[in-house]
Structure 1
Amino acid sequence: MLMCLKKVSNIVSLGVRNIQKRSRYWPTLTLAFIISFAVVYAGQLLIDGSLSRDAGYQTATMVKNIVGNGSVVFSWLFHSTHAHFIENLAIFFLTGWWVENRVDDDRFILGIAVVLGIGANVAAALIFRVPGAGISGITTGLGLMIALGAFEGLFDSTVRLIKAIPEFTLSVLFVLWSVGGLGQLPAGTAVEVHILGAVLGGAWYATEKIRYDFGPHQLRI
């Protein structure tokens, strides 16, 4: 009897959490990260004293030369060019919003900053000896999480296909492009960071799935 009551309680709690997640609309944490990236990039331009196209790159290089290899811990906050900055923030807004609406706030912050941000850059530096800058590893990881979630949604009767199909298609195309599977990426792109971001994004998704029942039932329907 106690076991049955416990199971019912767990189901009710899960339902309440899912309703709460679906009711969250504004991506406050995603926007907070975007503001942080914007402040850092503005600082890069101020330090360089220029608005030239590669001012961000010059500052990032200077910081790396001063700090050394330890810069990989925070280099994910940097951007190299104006186009790099704008493109990354636009993609992060879309992918971050999707994931933020499906995980708790503390895990979202931890996943973005520690797992996909610091984790991907440090791993790339240790494994491939490749320094990374920017949030492309983060957006690739988030993109893979969307692809996996949307893929599950394709086989879930409670999820509308008109929503799951474009989410799955676009996220898969983005991830393939980000890891160099669709065409050639711009010169100097740290593809290794993107690949590790995808790997860590998959690990984050699996953790959410196993421990917190993350799945297509949490898609907005």
Structure 2
Amino acid sequence: MYVVDRLRKARYLPTVTIAFVMVFLSTYTIQLLLVGSLSQNAGYQAVTMVTNALGAGSIVFSWLFHSSHTHLLGNLTIFVLTGWWVESQIGRDQFILGVAVFFGMGASVAALILFQTPGAGISGITTGLVTMVALGNLEGVIKPDHHLIRSAIVFTLSAFYLLRSVSVIGTLPAGTAVKIHILGAVFGAVWYTAEKSQHDFSWVVS
């Protein structure tokens, strides 16, 4: 009942977050169909096939891709948790623009310019969203209120994930695009700062 009560009190359900998840799942299904395989690396084969064919033009939608089943599931889990939170704070329209244009295509363009390779997948997006969550809850820790314990826990978990995703803590699987993770974190900090400067509201979910 606690979860149901929380949902009833929410500004609205995370419909855009759910819609993005459906798009990611549909895109991955198309990747598997394109290769004609359900193998673990079929997604990566599809990414390679499309990016080789389109080159830099793939940045328009390469952020929708995933390389493997585990990569998809891991990213979707983080995306749902963080997307729900960010969408509830900034609203649907800004969330769509932020995820698709700023994080999605924007980070891919930045990767192309800085590293001569377009970004692929939503790892940069999830890292960026986690950054926003971390910064929002850090604010709750620095300026304590009655949500201090929850803010401290969420910030700690988010910070650990960020350090892990940029390879500061532990080693990541071979082939992980750490640079796009770093770009995602930077873009997340920029987006968070922009939102805070324009809107007077708390980023800590009450």
Q: Tell me the TM-score normalized by structure 2.
A: 0.91
Question: What letter corresponds to residue 39 of structure 2 in structure 1?
Answer: S
Post-superposition Cα deviations, 1:48-95, rounded to whole Å, max 9, x if no partner, equal 111011111111111112111111221110001111111110110111
Where does residue 199 of structure 1 map in the other structure?
186
Question: What letter corresponds to residue 189 of structure 2 in structure 1?
Answer: G
Post-superposition Cα deviations, 1:100-141, rounded to whole Å, max 9, x if no partner, equal 110021111111011111111110111012332210000110
CA positional deviation for 1:25: 4.9
CA positional deviation for 1:218: 4.3
| SS of 1:102 mapped into structure 2 | helix
Q: How far apart in 2 are the matches of 1:65 and 1:114?
A: 22
Q: How far apart in 2 are the matches of 1:106 and 1:40?
A: 22
CA positional deviation for 1:157: 4.2
- Of 111, 133, 151 in structure 2, the residue corresponding to residue 124 of structure 1 is 111
Question: What letter corresponds to residue 43 of structure 2 in structure 1?
Answer: G
Where does residue 83 of structure 1 map in the other structure?
70
Q: How far apart in 2 are the matches of 1:168 and 1:157?
A: 13
How many pairs does the alignment contain? 198
Unaligned 5+ segments in structure 2 are 1-8
Where does residue 219 of structure 1 map in the other structure?
204
Counterparts of 1:105-144 in structure 2, within 5 Å, are 105-144=92-131
Unaligned 5+ segments in structure 1 are 1-21
Deviates more, 1:86-95 or 1:130-139: 130-139
Q: Tell me the TM-score normalized by structure 1.
A: 0.85
Percent sequence identity is: 56
Counterparts of 1:1-221 in structure 2, within 5 Å, are 23-214=10-201, 217-221=202-206
8 Å contact kept, 2:165–2:181: yes
8 Å contact kept, 1:130–1:190: no
Q: How far apart in 1 are the matches of 2:169 and 2:18?
A: 29
Q: How far apart in 1 are the matches of 2:125 and 2:153?
A: 21
